[in-house]
Amino acid sequence: MKKILLIIGVISLLISMRPILGLTSASNTVETTAVTSITEDEQEDSFISEGISGVKQFLSYTGFANAQAGNIIMIVIGIVFIYLGIKFDYEPLLLIPIGVGVIIGNIPFVAGNQTGIYETGSVLNYLYFGVVKGIYPPLIFLGIGAMTDFSSLIANPKLMLLGAAAQIGVFGTFLGALYLGFNLPEAGAIGIIGGADGPTAIFLSSKLANGVNLLPDGTTVKNLIGPIAIAAYSYMALVPVIQPPIMKLLTTKNERLIRMKPPRAVSQKEKMIFPVVALLLTTFISPSSLPLLGMLFFGNLLKESGRTERLAETARTKMIDIVTILLGVTVGASTQADIFITKDSMLIFGLGAISFVIATMGGLIFAKFMNLFLKGDNKINPLIGASGVSAVPDSARVVHAEGLKADPKNYLLMHAMAPNVAGVIGSAIAAGIILSFLG
Amino acid sequence: MKTILLYTDVLDEGYIILMTGLLIVFGGLLLLTLFFKYGLPFMLYIYKLITKGPDKKVTEISPTVNENFTGEIAAAISVAVHMYLDEQHDNENAILTIKQARKMYSPWSSKIYGAYNNRF
């Protein structure tokens, strides 16, 4: 009973308050009525039509009204990405963020409300900043460095050359892009898809084909970050589909049966020296790749030093996860249909497929070439050449699976990891070289 | 600062980049290969010489590492250790007891001073 009284009291207080407030607001309306009195009689009867026009305006802002065929196509592609990631387990950590990003980026909207990723001031635009300015890739490399075990490479240094051989895919694609009429910086950025390394591809394309740089003839380069990143990541996810046929084509049954002797154990000292020496050597050769390789070897030193386990742990778990989420979503969202669906993107996708094929072939053929000089149990199984196209660790897994198909007791995974990580180093060096030539 | 391109033909420039780029990538990784094949064992040998025990002679220190201890053996040992540490919880005490938690008296949580006691 008391509560009810209290409620009634509060309500009556509110009601009595209203005239006090109303006094001030009334004086305001006096002025405005003079202006609106002309339309007042119209307003009276058009209350319903006013409402309808409001609904109409709302409808014109919805996605249904603004949807274009391109948006729908891209949304379907996004859903396919998510499906591939979940159903077939093709790099789900990448495909699912990118797939959701593709959907987010292609929700139709009315321009000018700071919604889209390409509109200055929108939240997505700020997150995309890390892609455009090449901030995310070095951070990812830090995490990769803190994850990677270079010991199989240290145990068998000659496998490092396989990582170099696969970089022919980068330069082959570069030439192909030039033939198709892209100009030099754009071709350089497209070529790096052959490096099969997402962060490197984003890094290089954000430096060369970012839609800001000026060409010598005064025109700006096209913004190709979106298509290049999507091509690189989707072909990386498709490595288990692309590589096996090429492997079978270029190797004989006997070659696939070759068993390699197990790598020797590597001491902790060697593992600690490796990142420092490799950092010095590679960045002195190609200083432009410093952001990538510097971070990669820094991360590896954090892991191997044995004193900074906390930092290494953060770099390889939380930090790389956060950056992967941001990178995946924004790269996906950058595929806004009106910017993404162009002839150039289709050409880039074609070139990307070719670049993976060339890179795989380069690695395989060079492995066979090396076998000409090696004797006895030093011979290498040419299959591991295919993992020279970075795509860590998927291509090493593919090599392992192919090796098991030929001989169920031949475990190639440890051997394949060596050219695999060498491929990362190789493609970062290649990116640095292209950047120093064309940047 | 833009470098002025002497080559008007884009493809010529492309071939030059192709060749030099591949050479540099190969050169770089070849250098790394050579270092880790020859340079690093030598460095480690020198390190062993410097830090050798007082009673050891130089000839006793072998420059090569133990060839029989391969990465496979190391992997097997580390898997065993990992599995051992991972399955340690098997011997846990299965008796669960709930200890009663006695709280100290505090006027902040006292029921005497609660707001609900003042009802009428």
The whole-number pLDDT of residue A435 equals: 92
| Residue B68 vs residue A141, higher pLDDT | A141
What letter does residue B100 receive in the DSSP assignment? -
With an 8 Å Cβ cutoff, are B17 and A438 in contact? yes
Whole-number pLDDT of residue B73 = 84
pLDDT at residue A158 above 50?
A: yes
Lowest-confidence pick of A24-33, A131-140, A412-421: A24-33
pLDDT surpasses 60 at A27: no
Taking the Cβ of residue A175 and every Cβ of chain B, the question of whether any pair is shorter than 8 Å is answered with: yes
- How many Å apart are CA A172 and CA A290, to the nearest integer? 24
pLDDT reported for residue B92: 63
Average pLDDT of chain A is 88
Q: How confident is the model at residue A215 (pLDDT cuts 50, 70, 90)?
A: confident
A168 touches chain B (CB under 8 A): yes
pLDDT bin (cut points 50, 70, 90) of residue A299 is very high
Q: What's the whole-number mean pLDDT along residues A54-61? A: 89
Position A19 scores a pLDDT of: 67
| Tally of CA atoms within 13 A in the half-sphere of B109 that contains its CB | 4
- Nearest-Cα distance to chain A for B111, in Å, is 24
The residue ranges of every structural domain in chain A are: 115-438
* Interchain contact, B69 vs A273, CB within 8 Å: no
CB contact at 8 A, A167 and A192: no
Q: Write out residues in chain B with pLDDT < 70, as ranges.
A: 1-8, 53-67, 89-94, 100, 114-115, 117-120
Q: Can you tell me the distance from the alpha carbon of A400 to that of A417, in angstroms, rounded to the nearest whole number?
A: 10
Which residues are CB-contacts of B8 (< 8 A; sequence separation ≥ 6)? none
How confident is the model at residue B105, as a pLDDT? 74
Q: What is the pLDDT of residue A24?
A: 52
Which amino acid makes up residue B31? L
Q: In a 3-state reduction of DSSP, which class is residue A387?
A: helix
What phi and psi, each to the nearest 5 degrees, are found at residue B63?
-75, -20
Query: Where does residue A396 rank: exposed (0-12), middle (13-18), buried (19+ CB within 10 A)?
Result: buried
Q: What share of chain A is helix, strand, coil (3-state, %, to 5)?
A: 75, 0, 20
The region of weakest confidence among A2-11, A64-73, A404-413, B22-31 is A2-11
Mean pLDDT over residues A243-256, rounded?
92
Ranges of each domain in chain B? 1-62
Task: Map tokens 């010991």 to a residue.
Answer: A151
Q: What whole-number distance in Å separates Cα of residue A5 and Cα of residue A1?
A: 6
Q: Report chain B residues whose CB lies below 8 A from the CB of A192.
A: none
Instruction: Tell me the chain A residues in contact with residue B5 when contact means C-beta distances shorter than 8 Å.
Output: 216
- Where does A274-395 show beta strands of DSSP type E? none
CB contact under 8 A, B37 and A157: yes
Res. A375 pLDDT band, cuts 50 70 90: confident
In this prediction, residue A30 has a pLDDT band, given cuts at 50, 70 and 90, of very low
Task: Check whether A264 has a pLDDT greater than 90.
Answer: no
What is the arithmetic mean of pLDDT over A229-248? 91
- How close B117 gets to chain A, by Cα (Å)? 17
Given an 8 Å threshold on Cβ–Cβ distance, is A422 in contact with B24?
Answer: no
Cα atoms in the Cβ-side hemisphere of radius 13 Å centred on A91 = 26
List CB contacts (< 8 A) between B44 and chain A.
Answer: 267, 269-270
Pick the residue with more confidence: A339 or B96? A339
| Model confidence pLDDT, tens digit, residues A169-180 | 999 999 999 999
Q: Give the pLDDT score at A52.
A: 92
A216, A264, A285 member nearest B24 (Cβ):
A285
The top-scoring range by mean pLDDT among A25-34, A138-147, A204-213 is A138-147
Any alpha helices (H) in A88-197, and if so which ranges?
92-105, 123-132, 136-147, 151-155, 160-165, 168-179, 184-191
Q: What is the pLDDT of residue B54?
A: 65
Hey, how many other C-beta atoms are within 10 angstroms of the C-beta on A65?
12
Residue B47 with chain A: CB contacts under 8 Å: 269
Interface predicted TM-score (ipTM): 0.78
Tokens for B77, please give them.
């040992």
Q: How far is A277 from chain B (nearest CA, A)?
A: 8
Chain A interface, best mutation among B8, B22, B32, by max A CB count within 10 A: B32
Instruction: Pull the structure tokens for residue B64.
Output: 């090569």
